Amino acid sequence: MKGRKKTYLAATLLCSLTILSFILISGVFCKDKNPFGSSGQSPLRKGDLVADATKIQEAFKKIYEINKDSVVFISTEQTMKMPQHPFFNDPFFRDFFGPSDRQPKTQKRTGLGTGFIVSEDGYICTNYHVVAGVDKIKIKVNKDSYDAKLIGLDEKTDLALLKIDSNNKLTPVYFGDSDTVNVGDWSIAIGNPFGLDKTFTVGVISSAARRDLDLMGDSQTHIQTDASINPGNSGGPLLNIYGEVIGVNRMIYSQTGGNIGIGFAIPINTVKNVLEQLKLHKKIKRGFIGVQIVPLTEEYASELGLKDNSGALVGQITEDSPAAKSGILTGDVIISINSKEIKNFSDLINEVENTPIGKTLKVEVWRNKSKIALFITVVERP
């Protein structure tokens, strides 16, 4: 009887251990099961419904990888003189607050911006307004920090060229062609908005050549994009879907200081010409032919025999200028330069100012209801 009890107890114990083992093993195999969310993967992972979208996603990742080591963080420092409060000229307030020499006479102001590497030996492009008037410029390339040297500035185009010395070869960006940019193209901005390093935003080109920007104060064209650009993005690259730089992010249009989907970039074809001149001359030598342009109305264009008011109407010619020597007359309408159509004053300015000094241009003018070809040698603007 005792033997049966022992056998029964042993069997019971063995059964309990078996059940316990099953529970423990089941727990091991089921420990990854989450009580929340649907089981398995999203049905969108199967089939071709989002296949094209994932290809674009992979392209964005590749664009970031190509450019992440080329976009740099810029910090600046400027010592500002503090004006003395007029109260300190009054003996009563001077006795109350203490001597004026106890008041701080200077204050350090810091700034942030973005730039990008344009050569292996350390040349960097950014905006004029990021570094103009500052005392110190620090460049952070990934984890490495450098003191930057200011090579040249151009306030008109809002561009600056910097240089850092590194023991290693740096990674320059790829340049695109801003003349091929079209509305609807992808646009990607990489920068440091609000000090957030290497922020990546995506949008489209809203306008390929925006000129009617009174707030800019000049005639140069800009690429407009809805990719998010905010304070700190200034000087950073605007890229196309191939990861090539098509512009330098310059500013946003905003009534609040934050992005509302309207940003502007300087076309890279303009930038390349400016950077080359800044490297050679430390400044921009702009072309000059010596004509003053006046508005060409549709009514007057019709009187001249033109089909529309495209062109630049010459209102005055500077004495002894290249235009005067070439035979251009007051009342001529400049309609093309080197076979490139001139639609307005801005086109003329851009073509002349971007032409190397000493180069001869073929200028086509409309005079007496016919086309005349003249040749003008560009000189440096006085």
Q: Which residues are catalytic?
A: 129, 158, 234
Residue 59, C-beta contacts closer than 8 angstroms, at least 6 positions apart: 241
How many Å apart are CA 222 and CA 142, to the nearest integer?
29
Ranges of H-type helices in the chain: 2-30, 51-67, 91-97, 128-131, 268-281, 298-304, 322-326, 345-353
Task: Give the distance from CA 313 to its chain's centroid.
Answer: 34
How many Å apart are CA 270 and CA 157, to the nearest integer?
9
The closest of 259, 132, 244 to 185, measured between CA atoms, is 244
How many Å apart are CA 162 and CA 114, to the nearest integer?
12
Helix (H) and strand (E) counts for the chain? 8, 21
Strand partners, 316: 292
Task: Write the DSSP symbol of residue 82.
Answer: P
Q: Which helix (H) or strand (E) holds 91?
A: helix 91-97
Q: Are 136 and 34 in contact (CB under 8 A)?
A: no
Q: Are 204 and 210 in contact (CB under 8 A)?
A: no
Residue recorded with tokens 């089981």: 39
Q: How many residues are recorded in the chain?
A: 382
How is residue 242 written in tokens?
Answer: 């191939």
How many Å apart are CA 278 and CA 267, to the nearest integer?
17
How many Å apart are CA 365 and CA 311, to the nearest integer?
9
**Strands, E, within 20-105: which ranges?**
71-81
How many Å apart are CA 300 and CA 369, to the nearest integer?
12
Tell me how far CA of residue 343 lies from CA of 33, 265, 337, 351, in angstroms: 68, 22, 11, 12
How many Å apart are CA 351 and CA 256, to the nearest integer?
36
